[in-house]
Amino acid sequence: MERQGVDKSLWISGWILLVGGVITGLIIGFTLKLDFGLSESLLNTEAPEINHPFRWAYAAIIIVITGALGAILMGLSELILNQRNKMHLFENSMKDLRRSFAEKD
């Protein structure tokens, strides 16, 4: 059965969250720098450009959290799709059962 409605929305949202989280985590991991704020203007010296020491920890946290949430949304989508398939199969079997009883009469 084809995805439609809520299950399709959840599936797409899960993928967007998963991919967006990985991209965001990689951007943070490669570009997060320490900011010395006003010290540069107060001391009249150029502040050194230093990578943030926890940048990869922050990136990993973002990737793990968004990956988990994306997987949960995709799992909910699968559950809804499976329930829809079961209901469709049940409705078809009931129609066949009614048809077979109607033919016997």
Asked whether residue 1 is domain-assigned, the answer is no
Euclidean distance between CA atoms 27 and 32, whole angstroms: 8
The average confidence (pLDDT) of the chain is 87
The number of folded domains in the chain is 1
Judged against a pLDDT cut of 70, whether residue 99 lies above it is answered with yes
Cα→Cα distances 76→13, 25, 46, 66, Å: 11, 24, 52, 15
pLDDT in tens, 24-66: 999 999 999 887 766 666 666 676 778 889 999 999 999 999 9
Per the structure, the complete domain to which residue 79 belongs is given by: 6-104
The per-residue pLDDT for 21 is: 96
Asked whether residue 10 is domain-assigned, the answer is yes
pTM beyond 0.85: the answer is no
The per-residue pLDDT for 38 is: 66
Asked whether residue 59 is domain-assigned, the answer is yes
Asked whether residue 11 is domain-assigned, the answer is yes
Q: What mean pLDDT do residues 8-17 have?
A: 94
